[in-house]
Structures are given as structure tokens and as C-alpha cells.
Amino acid sequence: MEVSAANSAVTSNAASTRDDIKYLRSVLKPDKNGMVHEEQLFAGIVEERVKISLGSDVATKFHERFELAMSRIGKKSNVVENAVRRALKFLVKHDLISQKQAVKIHSEAFAAAQIDSNKEMLFDGNGGANDKTIATKEVNLAVNTAIDRLNAFDAGKVNSPERKMREVA
């Protein structure tokens, strides 16, 4: 009986992981070469975590607020990060998520989205040759790596450093 319950839990976790991967891939918009950058991955992971934790309705509200913030912020640097933070703060303000949940989702998504060796910043895919502020990866590899990291956080194997949700210039 215990073995059957354990197998059921493993099957459930595997199905959940497949759903996580499918959803995360659906919200990402790779470039023509199939690449995504850290900022895109971060935004997608936050939306995926909101959906998994709080349901589709709250994820839809997050996405709407994220898109609104993106349109209002314009082309400034850190636009994606700041739009994510604004959308999370909207959810907190409207009691759709606690501050603690928002910080946890934000922190884990930031850590899971890391593609390059600089773990303190998220980079985009813009720039020229030898630009150290470009961090891109093929979408399937990026998603699989991110999901592996998120699964490690969920299992308590690793803790992500807590990150404040302050907007950055």
C-alpha cells in the first residue's frame, strides 16, 4: 500500500513537471533562432509559479498587469524585471498573493532564470559581439534547466537567495 502511494506521488510529480514545462514554454517567445534570454525566462517563470501556486485566474491578472507595465515603462533598461515586480506588487496590493509568497516566487524565479555566471543580474539578448550583458540559451535547454532548479527549490534541496522586489534603474 505504501509503495503504491509513493509511486502515485512520483507519477503526480512527473505529470506536474510536464505541465510546468508545457506552460512555461507557452508563455516564452523565443527569437527566430529559438533563443530566450534571462529576462524573458524570469518573467515566464514568475507567471508559471503564480499559475501553479494560485491558479489560472491570478496568473491571467499577473500577465495583464505585466503587459500593462511593459507598455508604460518603455525601452528603459531593466524593463522586464521592473514590469514583473510591478505586476507582483499589484497582486499583493489586491490581496491575491501575500508579500511573502510574492518575494518567494520572485526570488526563486530570479535564481532559476540564470543562464550565465553572473547570478546577481538578469541580462537580455541585445547587444553586439563580446557584449557581456547578453545571456541567451536555446529555449528547450533554458526551460529544462529552470524547471530542474525550481524542482530543487520545491523539494527543499536548495534555497534561493531572497531578493527584494525593488525596481532597479
- Predicted local distance difference test score (pLDDT) of residue 68: 94
Grid cell, residue 2, equals 505504501
Q: Which residue has better confidence, 5 or 155?
A: 155
Query: Which pLDDT tens digit goes with each residue over 5-39?
Result: 332 333 334 445 667 778 888 889 999 999 999 99
The predicted model gives 136-155 an average pLDDT of: 93
Contacts 24+ apart (CB under 8 A), 116-124: 116/38, 122/38, 122/39, 122/42, 122/80, 122/81, 123/37, 123/38, 123/39, 124/37, 124/38, 124/39, 124/40, 124/80
Q: What is the mean pLDDT of residues 109-116?
A: 95
Domain ranges of the chain: 2-154
- The label of the residue with cell 503564480 reads 50
Contact yes or no for 45/104 (Cβ under 8 A): no
